[in-house]
Amino acid sequence: MENLPRAKTRGRGDVRAVYVGGNTLRVRGAYTGRSYAFSPAARTQLVDALDSRVLFRTRYFRRG
């Protein structure tokens, strides 16, 4: 399992998101505005729980 740093949140917590796409992708969180970078080499990342709601609606992310 990857050793991922915990991001600062306001009590919502973070969710582990796994990118299943084939290219490098940078997204901005719909709620927090945080920037997240994913790639085939760095598929798993902690994202804010509110941002994760939007990411998981796409075909490119799943819960990790």
- The verdict on residue 56 lying in a domain is yes
37 with 25: CB under 8 angstroms? yes
pLDDT level of residue 1 (50, 70, 90 thresholds): very low
Supply 19's token pair: 């990118």
- The verdict on residue 4 lying in a domain is no
Number of structural domains in the chain: 1
pTM for this model (two decimals): 0.76
Residue ranges of alpha helices (H) inside 1-64 are: 49-55
Domain span at 51 = 14-63
Q: Per residue in 2-28, pLDDT tens?
A: 555 554 545 579 999 999 999 999 999
In DSSP terms, which residues pair with 27 in a beta bridge?
Answer: 36
The beta strands (E) that lie in the chain are given as 14-19, 25-28, 35-38, 44-48, 61-63
Q: Per residue in 22-62, pLDDT tens?
A: 999 999 999 999 999 999 999 999 999 999 999 999 999 99
